[in-house]
């Protein structure tokens, strides 16, 4: 039996640009089940990042309902959202976004260190060590971000996203700044974490080589889900491949 980790119902997002209203999302319905490995595909400006920002509690929708593990998110204040991001969601960014003054271990530990309900220091260290080892960062624990390659930095970001043992990891174009070989390694790592630890991944990408690894592809265009099922039910592989091919 599958459990929905997130449900979006009729989500819209409008931006005011001068006198113009930009409709970034136009009524998105989407359900992600626990343990899914889902790619969010679409051209630039299609609304992928906006959708990920709303799912990541970084932004609020203009209208619609957003449930995270069955809990409505709309009424939460800034600090509540910060706590949800801290405890339930892991982030992997296109530009890695590590904190430059912290070394690998400290970057990985960081979400645990700033948590409202802090874990014991030994537990934080254990989790950080495990997360770092899981992404193959063992030899680089004392390195600062500027001493690492792009692929290594993204591994740090993945370890940081995993350290709080979140229900959901969101990755916004995680391979966009990496060469193809490193991209393959990072996607393989994400897949392995999904398979072995049951971590739910939702990632946006342009990269067709990455999409082929996704078990589910949601295609978004002009602020709407245009292809791929909204509820995670099995799709016609052809439709997905066509979407990928485009």
Partner 1 sequence: MMDLFKIALRNVVRNRRRTLISMFAIFIGIGVMVGIRGFMNGLQDSLVRNVVETRLGALQIHHAGYVASIEGVPLNLDMPVDEALLAKLRAIPGVRGAAPRIAFPVMVNKNDDTVFALGSAVDPANEYTVCPEEAKIITAGTALGTEPALVMSTQLATAIKAKIGDSITLLANDHDGALNGIELKLVGTYVGRMPGMEKTLIMTLGAAQGLLRMEGRVTEIGIGLKNPRAADDLAPAVAAIAPAPTFEVHTWNQLAKNITDIMRFQNTFLGVASFVFLLVALTLIINTMLMAVLERVREIGTMMAVGVRRRQVLSLFLMESGLMGLFGGIAGAGAGWALVLYMGWRGIDLAMPGMKNVRNMLYPSLPLSYILLAVGLATVGAILAAIYPAWHAARMRPVEALQHV
The verdict on 177 binding partner 1 (CB under 8 A) reads no
Among 47, 56, 174, 228, indicate the residue that binds partner 1 (CB under 8 A): 56
Of 150, 57, 168, 152, the closest CA to residue 108 belongs to: 152
Pattern of binders to partner 1 over 95-134, x per CB under 8 A? x-xxxxxx-------xx-xxxx------------------
Please write down the HEC assignment for all residues of 96-163.
Answer: CCCCCCCCHHHHHHHHHHCCCCCCCHHHHHHHHHHHHHHCCCHHHCCCCHHHCCHHHHHHHHHHHHHC
Tell the smallest beta-carbon distance from residue 241 to partner 1 (Å). Answer: 32
Of 133, 139, 138, 148, the closest CA to residue 98 belongs to: 148
Among 58, 226, 230, 244, indicate the residue that binds partner 1 (CB under 8 A): 58
Tell the smallest beta-carbon distance from residue 102 to partner 1 (Å). Answer: 7
The verdict on 176 binding partner 1 (CB under 8 A) reads no
Q: Which long-range contacts (CB under 8 A, 24 or more apart) does 137-140 make?
A: 137/104, 137/108, 140/104
Among 48, 85, 127, 153, indicate the residue that binds partner 1 (CB under 8 A): 85
Tell the smallest beta-carbon distance from residue 33 to partner 1 (Å). Answer: 24
The verdict on 61 binding partner 1 (CB under 8 A) reads no
Among 9, 26, 76, 87, indicate the residue that binds partner 1 (CB under 8 A): 87
E strand or H helix at 211:
helix 208-211
Task: Compute how many residues bind partner 1; rule: CB under 8 A.
Answer: 28
Q: Choose between 99 and 236: whose C-beta lies nearer to partner 1.
A: 99
Residue 48 sits at φ, ψ, to 5 deg, of -60, -50
Distance CA 198, CA 81 (A): 24
Kindly list the residues in this chain that would bind partner 1 in the complex (CB under 8 A): 53, 56, 58-59, 78-79, 82-83, 85-87, 91, 93, 95, 97-102, 110-111, 113-116, 160, 164
């Amino acid at each position: 039996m599958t459990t929905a980790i997130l449900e979006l119902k009729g989500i819209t997002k409008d931006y005011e640009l001068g006198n113009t209203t930009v409709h970034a999302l136009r009524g998105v319905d989407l359900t992600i089940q626990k343990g899914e490995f889902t790619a969010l595909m679409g051209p630039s400006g299609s609304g992928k990042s906006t959708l990920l920002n709303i799912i990541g509690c970084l932004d609020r929708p203009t209208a619609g309902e957003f449930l995270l593990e069955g809990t409505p998110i709309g009424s939460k204040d800034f600090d509540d959202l910060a706590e949800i991001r801290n405890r339930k969601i892991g982030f992997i960014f296109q530009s890695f976004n590590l904190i430059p003054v912290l070394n690998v271990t400290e970057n990985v530990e960081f979400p645990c260190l700033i948590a409202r309900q802090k874990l014991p220091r030994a537990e934080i260290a254990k989790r950080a060590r495990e997360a770092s080892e899981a992404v193959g960062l063992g030899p680089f624990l004392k390195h600062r971000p500027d001493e690492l390659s792009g692929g290594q930095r993204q591994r740090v970001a993945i370890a940081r996203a995993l350290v709080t043992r979140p229900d959901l990891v969101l990755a916004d174009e995680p391979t966009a700044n990496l060469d193809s070989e490193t991209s393959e390694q990072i996607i393989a790592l994400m897949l392995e974490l999904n398979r072995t630890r049951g971590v739910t991944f939702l990632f946006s990408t342009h990269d067709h080589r990455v999409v082929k690894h996704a078990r589910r592809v949601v295609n978004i265009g002009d602020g709407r889900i245009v292809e791929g099922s909204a509820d995670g039910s099995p799709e016609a592989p052809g439709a997905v491949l066509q979407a990928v091919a485009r």
